[in-house]
Structure 1
Amino acid sequence: MIVRTLEERIGTEFDVDTPNWSSRRLLLKDDGVGFSLHDTVIKAGTETLIWYKHHIEAVYCIEGEGEVELTGSGEKYKIVPGTMYVLNGHERHLLRGGKTDMRVVCVFNPPCTGREVHDEEGAYVASSAN
């Protein structure tokens, strides 16, 4: 059994902070459960290009507001608490923070190692999926 708290992850190597988002990694590949789980804050007023070519990501909003725009079609989806979306087609998208920070819970399959960074296309490299 694995039991962790968000508080014990904040400020450690499992708390990755960028200008656009902060991701607190709760479960990772080394935990051996087949997926990774992240508590992420999308900072207000930001825009991030993301394209998970090698992962499926499910996202559930628990606080704040934002928007997802699919770059291929231009479709936009408002994200508010209680909204879930899944990038099951590896959709390239723009994730925008709204007027407030948006807090989401993200699940990745295959699981992330915790050391990934977005490349110039907004993707995690394929080797991190193995």
Structure 2
Amino acid sequence: MSCRVGSTSSAPEGLWHWLGSIPHWIYPTALRRDGALWRQVVLWISGICLMVAVTGFWIGVLRLRWRRRYVGGAFTPYRGWMAWHHIAGLVGGMFVLTWMFSGWLSLNPGEYFAVRGPTRDMAV
């Protein structure tokens, strides 16, 4: 379980390295040995996270008012840093959602992008 980066890493640093790589990237060795199971786990977890991100983005959009503005003419109900957080979340959310969605599609959910006909090797 040791994931020490250098010989000067302390035990707490080693724990943080492990937490930052193994669970975050879903690479426990036992799960990684079974490629099909690992793919399904990653697809389901990332699909759920994608739906949660879409929900958060949609809530952020619903809080905007373009016509009937909030008090003071603001289009966000928040003030100060919370207003910046709201707007940055919406702008950054567009990038993050497209990035997450493309990553999810790269795992070929449902095998929709699988080759259906004979390959060139089969035809020869």
TM-score (norm 1): 0.22
Q: Which has the higher contact order (CA 8 A, sep 6+)?
A: 1
Bigger radius of gyration: 2
* TM value normalised by structure 2: 0.22
Greater strand fraction, Structure 1 or Structure 2: 1
Higher normalized helix content (fraction of residues): 2
